[in-house]
């Protein structure tokens, strides 16, 4: 197995299982309106009077061990984000189960914040939601604001921020806490170039601290850079599971 | 075929999202209480930030409501209790205390579904969301009660030691409202349509609670119906606060009994009922 692109990934020996996904099915009930979508999507979605069921994950099973960095690739709507949310326990499984050695943390940029409140207050609220104590927040708040590069704007309500600034603030709150099992959902694409560089570095640090990392991305190069194993999810099923080179090649071939 | 479940068991892994035992769950919620308190107080501020009068609207809104009811029921319909207290303090107590219940009920019901983004991105005991919305209503009712007592005093009611009874009544009512909010929050996650019923339930409660008239007076010829109406704890809390502040009539201990039993029963049942559904929140 040649693994040219993962040169900066430590070749750590595989440890004990940290995440076990067992026959995982996830179905959403969606309250749909308007015309039914046609084509590919339409076939997958049985209609029942305005309410539809989306079978997002169809029986996934795999084992992840200590020290692995798992990349997850697939087309839009293939179930990647659903998989991450389910592993994090944020989306209940319809069937099957996820087992983990610690509470997996999902690093997203969509944490709900209050747009009428200042950046400072949002940092406080977001950090409390992450499980920081008020004393820890007093210590860390400046650091979070600095990381987001929003020192001058910390007193302004969040609705006055540009969308990039909002994303930066959310992301900075999300990465403030170290995690044992870390999942990153497309978060690398946040903010301007300078911020992206800083956050990539922070994610690499977090990956080194964390035992296990999952990364969802559409960027094959960042998957190849950071992952030791790749899962290709296709229409809610596990199409391929293996070393990054093989899986990414097969995925790229399929999209041609 | 690999047996993943036993593999996980052998490795000592716990199921993600599994509902903890009730007491572990409540302990986890308690350790995160700062989140619920902060969310509640920031919400109040955020809701009023854009108004020129800001936080004054917390009391101005219910006050304007009381004026509307006062004009309609006091001036046009004459529902004021006979030979009783001044109508305005009587009405203010009813409207303000009822608002505590109706706000807790409607905001509590929305608390989980309105925070779907938060529920989908962070794991924390979901009970914090309805608790936070009840806290928000409680933070709003405290200045309302202060204003209410001031109005009552301005209308010439003597300030007596009986006023202290307002505190235990509000404690009981907070427990009752918490139970109602927790039950409504879970039902709403299963049936979104429940939100539509809330305004009707609230309206029925409003008219059967005696917010602007005296149940005792209207139903004096029908003891059975009066008994049923008094089983409603919201009526009893309002009656108790009226007794403590504006009514000088002898007082019926049945209100304390129903009010306490209702508070404890709803509080305990609400917590258990909400906890039992913990794994289903976040499902669309």
DSSP B73: I
Q: What number is the average pLDDT over the span A124-150?
A: 87
pLDDT beyond 70 at A108? no
Q: Residue A15's pLDDT is what?
A: 76
Which of A22, A23, A112 is the closest to B118 by Cβ? A112
Answer whether residue A41 shows pLDDT above 60: no
Tell me the chain B residues in contact with residue A166 when contact means C-beta distances shorter than 8 Å.
Answer: none
The per-residue pLDDT for B92 is 87
Q: State pLDDT tens for residues A161-208.
A: 887 888 888 888 878 877 788 888 776 566 677 887 787 777 777 777
pLDDT value of position B74:
74
Nearest to B13 among A29, A101, A130 (CB): A101
A72, β-bridge pairs:
A216, A231
- In angstroms, rounded to a whole number, what is the distance separating the alpha carbons of residues A100 and A88? 9
- pLDDT higher for B53 or A238? A238
- Judge residue B23's burial from the number of C-beta atoms within 10 Å of its C-beta, 0-12 exposed, 13-18 middle, 19 or more buried: exposed
Q: What is the mean pLDDT of chain A?
A: 79
Q: A-chain residues within 8 Å CB-CB of B14? A: 99-101
Separation of alpha carbons B69 and B212, rounded Å: 7
Q: Tell me the shortest Cα–Cα distance from A164 to chain B, in angstroms.
A: 19
Are A112 and B45 within 8 A, CB to CB? no
Contact (CB<8Å) A125/B4:
no
CB contact (8 A) between residue B7 and residue A133 = no
Q: What is the pLDDT of residue B108?
A: 94
> What pLDDT sits at residue B250?
67
Q: Which of A19, A100, A128 sits opposite B34 (nearest CB)?
A: A128
The minimum CA-CA distance between A156 and chain B, rounded to whole Å, is: 12
When mean pLDDT is compared across A202-211, B21-30, B135-144, B261-270, the lowest value belongs to A202-211
Interface contact flag, B49 A116, Cβ < 8 Å = yes
Taking CA–CA distances from A88, the nearest residue in chain B reads: B16
Q: Which residues in chain A have Cβ-Cβ distances shorter than 8 Å to B11? A: 16-17, 20, 99, 101
What percent of chain B is predicted at pLDDT more than 90? 36
What pLDDT score does A9 carry? 46
For the residues A240-244, what does the mean pLDDT come to?
Answer: 89
Give the closest of B12, B15, B38 to A128, CB-based.
B38
Check CB contact under 8 Å for A28 and B284: yes
Residue A93 has pLDDT above 90, yes or no: no
Classify residue B80 as left (phi > 0), alpha (psi -120 to 50) or beta: beta
Average of per-residue pLDDT values in chain B = 86
Residue B6: pLDDT band (50, 70, 90) is confident
A151/A114: higher pLDDT: A151
Instruction: Provide, rounded to the nearest whole percent, the portion of chain A with pLDDT above 70.
Output: 82
Among chain A residues, CA nearest to B282: A91
Residue B273 makes CB contacts below 8 A (sequence gap 6+) with B182, B183, B186
Rounded mean pLDDT, A39-61 = 67
Confidence band (pLDDT; 50, 70, 90) for A6?
Answer: very low
Out of A85, A99, A130, name the one closest to residue B8 (CB).
A99
The mean-pLDDT minimum among A28-37, A95-104, A240-249, B222-231 falls in A28-37
**Does residue B171 have a pLDDT over 90?**
yes
CB contact under 8 A, B124 and A131: yes
Asked if the model's pLDDT at residue B104 lies above 60, the reply is yes
Which carries the bigger pLDDT value, residue B197 or residue B10? B197
Closest by Cβ to B35, choosing from A87, A89, A129: A129
Contact A129 B5 (CB under 8 A): no
ipTM of the complex: 0.74
CB-CB under 8 Å, A112 with B13: no
Question: Are A131 and B16 an interchain contact pair (Cβ–Cβ within 8 Å)?
Answer: no
Mean pLDDT computed over A230-245: 90
Q: Does the pLDDT at position B1 exceed 70?
A: no
Task: Kindly report the pTM of this predicted structure.
Answer: 0.81
Q: What is the mean pLDDT of residues B111-139?
A: 88
Question: Does the pLDDT value for residue A50 go beyond 70?
Answer: no
DSSP B190: H
Q: How confident is the model at residue A254 (pLDDT cuts 50, 70, 90)?
A: confident
How much is the pLDDT for B131?
Answer: 96
Torsion angle (degrees, nearest 10) of CA B117, A239, A236, A89: -40
């Amino acid at each position: 197995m040649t693994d040219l692109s993962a040169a900066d990934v430590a070749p750590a020996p595989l440890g004990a299982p940290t995440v076990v996904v067992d026959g995982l099915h996830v179905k959403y009930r969606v309250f749909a309106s308007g015309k039914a979508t046609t084509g590919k999507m339409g076939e997958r979605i049985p209609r029942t009077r305005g309410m539809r069921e989306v079978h997002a994950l169809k029986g996934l099973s795999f084992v992840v061990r200590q020290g692995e960095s798992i990349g997850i690739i697939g087309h839009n709507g293939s179930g990647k984000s659903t998989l991450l949310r389910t592993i994090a326990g944020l989306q209940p499984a319809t069937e099957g189960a996820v087992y983990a050695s610690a509470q997996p943390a999902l690093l997203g940029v969509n944490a709900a914040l209050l747009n009428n409140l200042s950046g400072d207050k949002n940092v406080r609220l977001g950090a409390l939601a992450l499980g920081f104590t008020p004393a820890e927040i007093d210590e860390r708040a400046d650091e979070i604001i600095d990381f987001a590069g929003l020192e001058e704007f910390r007193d302004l309500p969040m609705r006055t921020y540009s969308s990039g600034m909002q994303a930066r603030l959310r992301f900075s709150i999300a990465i403030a806490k170290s995690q044992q099992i870390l999942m990153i959902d497309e978060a690398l694409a946040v903010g301007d170039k300078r911020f992206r560089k800083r956050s990539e570095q922070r994610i690499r640090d977090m990956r080194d601290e964390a035992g296990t990392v999952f990364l969802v991305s559409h960027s094959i190069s960042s998957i190849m850079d950071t992952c030791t194993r790749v899962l290709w999810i296709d229409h809610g099923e596990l199409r391929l599971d293996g070393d990054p080179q093989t899986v990414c090649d097969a995925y790229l071939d399929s999209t041609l | 075929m690999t047996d993943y479940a036993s593999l996980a068991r052998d490795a000592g892994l716990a199921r993600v999202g599994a509902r903890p035992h009730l007491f572990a769950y409540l302990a986890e919620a308690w350790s995160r209480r700062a989140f619920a308190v902060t969310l509640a107080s920031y919400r109040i501020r955020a809701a009023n930030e854009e108004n020129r009068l800001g936080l004054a609207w917390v009391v101005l809104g219910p006050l304007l409501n009381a004026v509307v009811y006062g004009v309609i029921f006091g001036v046009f319909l004459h529902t004021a209790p006979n030979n009783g207290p001044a109508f305005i303090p009587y009405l203010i107590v009813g409207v303000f205390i009822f608002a505590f219940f109706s706000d807790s009920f409607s905001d509590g019901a929305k608390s989980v579904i309105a925070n779907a983004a938060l529920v989908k991105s962070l794991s924390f005991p979901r009970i914090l969301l309805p608790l936070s919305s009840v806290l928000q209503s409680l933070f709003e009712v405290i200045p309302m009660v202060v204003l209410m007592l001031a109005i009552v005093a301005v209308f010439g009611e003597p300030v007596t030691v009986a006023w202290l009874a307002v505190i235990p009544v509000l404690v009981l009512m907070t427990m009752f409202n918490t139970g109602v909010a927790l039950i409504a929050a879970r039902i709403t996650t299963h049936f979104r349509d429940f939100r539509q019923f809330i305004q009707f339930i609230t309206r029925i409660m409003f008219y059967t609670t005696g917010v602007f008239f005296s149940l005792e007076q209207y139903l004096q010829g029908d003891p059975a119906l009066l008994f049923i109406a008094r089983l409603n704890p919201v009526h009893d809390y309002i009656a108790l606060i009226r007794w403590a502040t504006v009514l000088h009539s002898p007082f019926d201990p049945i209100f304390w009994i129903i009010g306490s039993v209702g508070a404890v029963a709803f509080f305990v049942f609400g917590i258990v009922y909400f906890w039992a559904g913990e794994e289903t929140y976040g499902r669309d």
